[in-house]
């Protein structure tokens, strides 16, 4: 009977090797899974072993540097995760699945990433350890969930849940961006229209006034002063904008400045509400996913603090973590910091008391995603009318200034003696 040598990971993540007498590879895979191992590599006894691809002694350092800098679009990461999960559920080993994806996925950076992950498995590293070589591709939550899947022997199921998590995060981000595209376009178009109006219309008015003489009304003088400022001192305005931007960037780079700026973003009317509700939804969805897959609570708190992208929230979550270590429940610790609404912490407390914490967090995420949708729709429906009104006021003032000057000159001409 044929023999197959295998390399697998046990429930603690340790490397296990052995030989099985099986009629084919499929039977070998099933026997390894019955032992609650995760197959890494299976090959017939006597088959040639792969040779590591390296050209010189400096190659490993160069590869490590390239993996640290490699970036992959979110959509490509989603495809990679989804297809790898499908291959594992179909009975392939992780080694075979990565080999197939290396040939199937044509995007150059994804191929480079898959090739490096495959080689790491051949070298005896775990999949989660290999993922850590790509910090700009795989976030910490992704790596920790994969590690939990390796330890529990449920990696295909973990990848399926990761696909759902990535899709939900992408849909949430896309909804916010799409709702703000039209107001942003309208604001840019309005600013361009006003600039063209003042830059090209006012000079013609000035030339006409200089030819006919006469005193100008106050609105016209204000308009001419604005035109003079724009055409003469535009460089000063540009310099102020660049200087303010550079100063703000330098301020934000400091720890205190970053904390102050991130806290200010949370209280800006409208914009701050969107940021807060988006974080509520992300926090709930991510925490529920982590707890559902066996990640310890303290580790989960660290991970949900990282996804905030807000230094002020990270500091507050560190205080929450300390309170949980001291024996407080997570809902009580969050309520003490006043980071979340009372409805949020009350629903979380119910989940803690009933023992259905993960499911409750998913329910909370649904609630605040709907609330975020309503907030974004309300803001996106209010911004266009406000921009249109502002443009109408400015254009109306320009037209009134021109017409008042024309009427004034017409009146002065009528009063002159023939």
Query: How sure is the predictor about 407, in pLDDT bands with cuts at 50, 70 and 90?
Result: confident
Same domain, 72 and 33: no
Q: 303, 295 in Cβ contact below 8 A?
A: yes
Domain-located, residue 160? no
Residue 33 structural domain: 3-44
Same domain, 256 and 285: yes
Same domain, 191 and 295: yes
Query: How sure is the predictor about 382, in pLDDT bands with cuts at 50, 70 and 90?
Result: confident
Distance CA(313)–CA(338), nearest Å, equals: 11
Residues 264-279 have a mean pLDDT of 86
Same domain, 174 and 291: yes
Q: Select the highest-mean-pLDDT range: 172-176, 232-236, 251-255.
A: 251-255
CATH code for position 176:
1.20.81.30
Structure tokens at 312: 């002020």
DSSP 296-365: -HHHHHHHHHHTT--HHHHHHHHHHHHHHHTT--HHHHHHHHT-S-HHHHHHHHHHHHHT-HHHHHHHHH
Residue 218 above 70 pLDDT? yes
pLDDT digits (tens, 9 = 90+) for 79-105: 899 999 888 888 888 888 888 888 888
Residues 23-38 have a mean pLDDT of 75
- For the chain, the maximum distance between any two Cα atoms, rounded to a whole number of angstroms, is 123
Domain-located, residue 178? yes
Q: For 137, list phi and psi in degrees, rounded to 5.
A: -105, -50
**Residue whose C-alpha is closest to residue 345's, from 377, 378, 323:** 323
Number of domains in the chain: 3
Instruction: For the chain, give the mean pLDDT.
Output: 80
Distance CA(33)–CA(29), nearest Å, equals: 6
Domain-located, residue 248? yes
Same domain, 126 and 36: no
Angstrom CA distances, 174 to 74, 109, 170, 278, stand at 12, 23, 6, 12
The more confidently predicted of residues 10 and 403 is 403
Query: How sure is the predictor about 55, in pLDDT bands with cuts at 50, 70 and 90?
Result: very low
Domain-located, residue 202? yes
Would you state the pLDDT for residue 239?
A: 93
Would you state the pLDDT for residue 334?
A: 92
Query: How sure is the predictor about 144, in pLDDT bands with cuts at 50, 70 and 90?
Result: confident
Same domain, 129 and 277: no
Residue whose structure tokens are 């830059």: 199
Domain-located, residue 362? yes
Residue 11 above 70 pLDDT? no
Same domain, 296 and 401: yes
Q: 107, 178 in Cβ contact below 8 A?
A: no
Domain-located, residue 50? no
pLDDT digits (tens, 9 = 90+) for 308-366: 778 898 899 999 999 999 888 999 999 998 888 999 999 999 999 988 888 999 899 88
Distance CA(88)–CA(124), nearest Å, equals: 19
Same domain, 125 and 248: no
Collapsing DSSP to helix, strand or coil, 88 comes out as: helix
Same domain, 83 and 201: no
Domain-located, residue 158? no
pLDDT digits (tens, 9 = 90+) for 119-129: 888 887 888 88
Residues 156-175 have a mean pLDDT of 80
**Residue whose C-alpha is closest to residue 307's, from 281, 274, 342, 271:** 281
Residue 289 CA, distance from chain mean position: 17
Would you state the pLDDT for residue 58?
A: 45
Collapsing DSSP to helix, strand or coil, 18 comes out as: strand
The more confidently predicted of residues 25 and 404 is 404
Tell me the β-bridge partners of 7.
17, 41
pLDDT digits (tens, 9 = 90+) for 240-256: 999 999 999 999 889 88
Query: How sure is the predictor about 65, in pLDDT bands with cuts at 50, 70 and 90?
Result: very low
Same domain, 86 and 212: no
Same domain, 278 and 407: yes
The more confidently predicted of residues 67 and 194 is 194
Residues 247-267 have a mean pLDDT of 90
Q: 20, 8 in Cβ contact below 8 A?
A: no
Domain-located, residue 147? no
Same domain, 129 and 99: yes
Residue 63 above 60 pLDDT? no
């Amino acid at each position: 009977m044929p023999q197959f040598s295998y390399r697998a990971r046990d429930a603690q993540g340790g490397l296990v090797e052995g030989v099985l007498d099986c009629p084919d590879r499929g039977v070998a895979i099933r026997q390894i899974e019955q032992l609650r191992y995760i197959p890494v590599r299976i090959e017939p006894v006597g088959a040639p072993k792969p040779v590591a691809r390296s050209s010189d002694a400096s190659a490993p350092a160069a590869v490590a540097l390239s993996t640290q800098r490699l970036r992959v679009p979110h959509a490509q990461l989603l495809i990679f995760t989804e297809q790898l999960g499908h291959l594992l559920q179909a009975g392939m080993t992780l080694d075979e699945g990565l080999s197939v994806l290396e040939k199937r996925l044509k995007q150059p950076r994804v191929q480079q990433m898959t090739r490096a992950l495959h080689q790491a498995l051949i070298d005896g590293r775990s999949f989660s350890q290999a993922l850590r070589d790509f910090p700009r591709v795989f976030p910490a939550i992704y790596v920790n969930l994969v590690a939990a899947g390796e330890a529990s022997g449920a990696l295909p199921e973990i990848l399926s849940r990761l696909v759902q998590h990535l899709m939900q995060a992408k849909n949430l981000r896309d909804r916010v961006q799409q709702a703000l595209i039209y107001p942003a376009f309208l604001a840019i178009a309005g600013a361009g229209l006003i600039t063209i109006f003042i830059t090209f219309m006012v000079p013609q008015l000035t030339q006409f006034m200089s030819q006919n003489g006469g005193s100008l009304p106050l609105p016209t003088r204000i308009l001419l002063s604005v035109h003079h400022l724009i055409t003469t001192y535009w460089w000063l305005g540009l310099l102020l904008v660049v200087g303010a931007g550079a100063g703000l960037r330098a301020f934000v780079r400091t720890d205190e400045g970053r904390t102050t700026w991130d806290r200010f973003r949370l209280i800006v009317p409208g914009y701050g509400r969107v940021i807060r509700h988006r974080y509520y939804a992300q926090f709930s969805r991510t925490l529920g996913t982590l707890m559902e897959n066996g990640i310890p609570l303290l580790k989960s708190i660290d991970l949900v603090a990282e996804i905030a992208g807000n230094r002020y929230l990270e500091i507050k979550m560190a205080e929450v973590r300390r309170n949980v270590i001291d024996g407080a429940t997570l809902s009580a610790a969050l309520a003490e910091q006043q980071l979340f609404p009372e409805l949020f912490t009350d629903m979380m407390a119910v989940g803690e008391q009933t023992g259905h914490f993960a499911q409750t967090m998913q329910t909370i995420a649904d609630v605040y995603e709907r609330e975020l949708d309503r907030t974004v729709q309300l803001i996106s429906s209010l911004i266009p009318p406000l921009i249109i009104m502002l443009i109408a006021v400015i254009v109306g003032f320009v037209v009134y200034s021109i017409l008042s000057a024309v009427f004034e000159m017409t009146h002065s001409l009528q009063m002159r003696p023939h």
